[in-house]
Structure 1
Amino acid sequence: MPVLVASADRAWIRRPDPAIRLWAGTYPVLPGVTLVQCGGHFAGSAVAHWNAGADGRGALLTGDTLAIGADRASVTAMRSYVNRIPLPARAIRRILDALAPYRYDRIHGAFGVIDSDAEAVVDRSLHRYIAWVNGDIPDEPRR
């Protein structure tokens, strides 16, 4: 069984092994399951798109490439969650562009699930993220 590593993360390989298979862009893992390189947390960060997931409506398995918000109605992405380092707008656009060809209704993240309307949640959340990091959201008065 191969160990799949995005070629963009090649520098992180500390013990080369013939079992390691490098890939980039997309990689069909199984029939109906495709790894999609989004970038973000690492340059090679990826999600798995499961076409038959969510009873045929499609699902994403995201790990921490897209983190599900505590409200289960939003997602976010970070360069470093531990250090609270955000990603620039261009990295968020890359994630949106990488996911654009795929249909999905559910997200299984590292610490939660969005059961339905996940594609709209991702679109709304990541466009809001871009607006904030670009300073396009007016300051709100403090209450």
Structure 2
Amino acid sequence: MELSEDLFLHRLGGHFKGGSVLHWPGGNGGKGILLTGDIIQVVADTNWVSFMYSYPNLIPLPASKVKELANRVNDLHFDRLYNAFQKAVIKNAHEAVQRSAKRYINALEGTLLDT
């Protein structure tokens, strides 16, 4: 949904069916910003993000939904990402989302770790 000339709302679902992110392509000096609330969550290492169905109960999203979320934001232009809890990926956020989605999916499919 186009909110204005340079603000776009994208409904991704995930954490909840209506879960949306705000894309501001002109933000950050034209490098783009993605405001994700808790749909895409910045984690302790702010070079990574995560995707959960329930954060308080640590219930993960299925790999298929994470793949869908990553695909839906892949065409968006952003270098910075802010979540709802004062955390941010300050640079290379687009790459962090794609890299994190692959890691998340590999973890769920059992191919990330050999334990």
TM over 0.5: yes
Letter in 2 for 1:127: K
Check whether the contact 2:74–2:98 (CA below 8 A) recurs between aligned residues. Answer: no
TM-score (norm 1): 0.76
Match runs of 1:47-126 below 5 Å:
47-111=21-85, 112-126=87-101
Segments of structure 2 that go 5 or more residues without pairing to the other structure are none
**What is the DSSP-based 3-state SS (H/G/I as helix, E as strand, rest coil) of the residue aligned with 1:102?**
coil
- How many residue pairs get matched? 114
CA distance in 2, matches of 1:138, 1:78: 19
- 1:52-73 CA-to-partner distances (Å, cap 9, x unmatched) read 1111001100000011011111
Alpha-carbon contact 1:39-1:94 (below 8 Å) kept: no
Aligned residue type for 1:124: R
Instruction: Kindly provide the amino acid, as one letter, of the partner of residue 66 in structure 1.
Output: I
Instruction: Between the two structures, name the one with larger relative contact order (CA 8 Å, sep ≥ 6).
Output: 2
- Give the TM-score of the pair, scaled to structure 2: 0.94
Counting only pairs closer than 5 Å after superposition, residues 19-30 of structure 1 correspond to structure 2 as 27-30=1-4
Q: What secondary structure sits across from 2:35 in the alignment?
A: strand
How far residue 138 of structure 1 moved from its aligned partner, in angstroms, is 3.3
Task: State the identity as a percent.
Answer: 37
